[in-house]
């Protein structure tokens, strides 16, 4: 075990359903990387996107983490209680001229080129001022050409020209809600997160988040993107793909299979142990280098 007193990790689930095997892999990967490095492991409920919140999901997530003995440090942070911090960050960006108000409707943007993640690249309509008679509906971050790069601890070096791929991206949405990109950067920054370990479905957001960190004067954490669990049709597990909640399965099986999925090669005898023994084996023997450097992995359950 190596000791880094200054490691701060976190798990940041969206309460859109109970934890399934895929989200359990993200919870376990971030927990093990933190605990192996004697770090803190924080829990944040990402409910900034209010329409996606499912009643009861938050308490189901907390119960499942407790059942697996994945204990977090400090109080649970909930994004719905952090709006003032997001407002302050937006005001800081406004004062620095790094954002602009946008009057475009979804429909007006729909004709523009598709970005990497399937969303539309913003064509820059309002970046030099609102068209006459139009009011700002949303606030966007002003991007500029040039690559942003980072060294992912599992996936290697990744670069993106955010301006070319995404364009000026939304920080405050037309429905009055703050965008995930801003919330995650403000929350991780304030909590002093040093290591972001999460699913590779978020890898394409990382360069946008790095741009925001720079604009807000925040340190960029290290990133480790874990392969996302997919079914045999290549679909990410979600309620739509009928992923079972992990608490419907035997915890030992879930832990053992999650360790295998994360490339950790647990000894077969471990499968017959209790979850406390499995967990301490996994903390002691965690090897970040063994995490497959792939964006997806097949579900083996
Ligand atoms: N809330 C996001 C999710 O559940 C994770 C965000 C993050 O880890 O940065 O997919």
CATH code assigned at 18? 3.40.50.620
Q: How many CB atoms lie within 10 A of CB 129?
A: 10
Pair 160, 207: CB distance under 8 Å? yes
pLDDT digits 0-9 by tens, 178-193 = 999 999 999 999 999 9
Atom of ligand 1 nearest to the CA of 26: 8
pLDDT of residue 115: 62
Q: Which of 25, 195, 207 is nearest to 116 (CA)?
A: 207
**Range of 300's domain?**
1-301
H helix or E strand, kind and range, residue 159: strand 156-160
CA dist 4 and 35 (Å) reads 10
Of 4, 239, 244, 272, the active-site residue reads 239
> What's the whole-model pTM score?
0.94
List pLDDT tens digits, range 71-120: 999 999 999 999 999 999 999 999 999 999 999 888 777 766 666 666 67
* Chain segment 141-160, per-residue pLDDT in tens: 999 999 999 999 999 999 99
User: How would residue 121 be classed by pLDDT, with cut points 50, 70 and 90?
Assistant: confident
* Number of compact structural domains in the chain: 1
Distances from the Cα of 177 to the Cαs of 69, 70, 79, 244, in angstroms? 34, 31, 11, 30
Q: Ligand 1 site: residues with CB under 6 angstroms? A: 12-14, 46, 184, 198, 202
Percent of the chain with pLDDT over 90: 79
236: annotated active-site residue: no
Residue identified by tokens 């060294």 is 151
User: Which token pair is 242?
Assistant: 């009928």
- Write out pLDDT tens, residues 203-230: 999 999 999 999 999 999 999 999 999 8
């Amino acid at each position: 075990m190596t000791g880094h007193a200054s490691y701060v990790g976190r798990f940041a689930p969206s309460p859109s359903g109970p934890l399934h095997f895929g989200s359990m892999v993200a919870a376990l990967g971030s927990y093990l990387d933190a605990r192996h490095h004697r770090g803190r492991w924080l829990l944040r409920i990402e409910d900034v996107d209010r329409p996606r919140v499912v009643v009861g999901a938050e308490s189901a997530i907390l119960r499942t983490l407790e059942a697996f003995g994945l204990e977090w440090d400090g109080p649970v942070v909930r994004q719905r209680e952090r709006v003032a911090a997001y407002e302050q960050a937006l005001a800081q960006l406004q004062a620095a001229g790094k954002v602009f108000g946008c009057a475009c409707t979804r429909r007006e943007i729909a004709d523009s080129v598709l970005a990497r993640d399937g969303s539309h690249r913003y064509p820059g309509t309002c970046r030099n001022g609102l068209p006459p008679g139009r009011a700002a509906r949303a606030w966007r971050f002003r991007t500029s050409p040039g690559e942003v790069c980072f060294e992912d601890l599992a996936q290697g070096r990744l670069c993106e020209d955010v301006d070319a791929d995404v364009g000026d991206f939304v920080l405050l949405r037309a429905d009055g809600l703050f965008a995930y990109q801003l919330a995650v950067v403000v929350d991780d920054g304030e909590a002093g997160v040093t290591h972001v370990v999460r699913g590779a479905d978020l890898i394409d957001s990382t360069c946008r988040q790095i741009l925001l960190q720079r604009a807000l004067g925040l340190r960029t954490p290290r990133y480790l993107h874990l392969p996302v669990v997919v079914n045999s049709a290549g679909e990410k597990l979600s309620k739509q793909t009928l992923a079972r909640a992990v608490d419907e399965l035997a915890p030992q099986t879930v832990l053992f299979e999650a360790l295998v999925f994360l490339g950790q090669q647990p000894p077969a005898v471990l499968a017959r142990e209790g979850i406390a023994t499995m967990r301490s084996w996994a903390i002691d023997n965690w090897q970040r280098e063994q995490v497959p450097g792939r964006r997806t992995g097949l579900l083996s359950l």
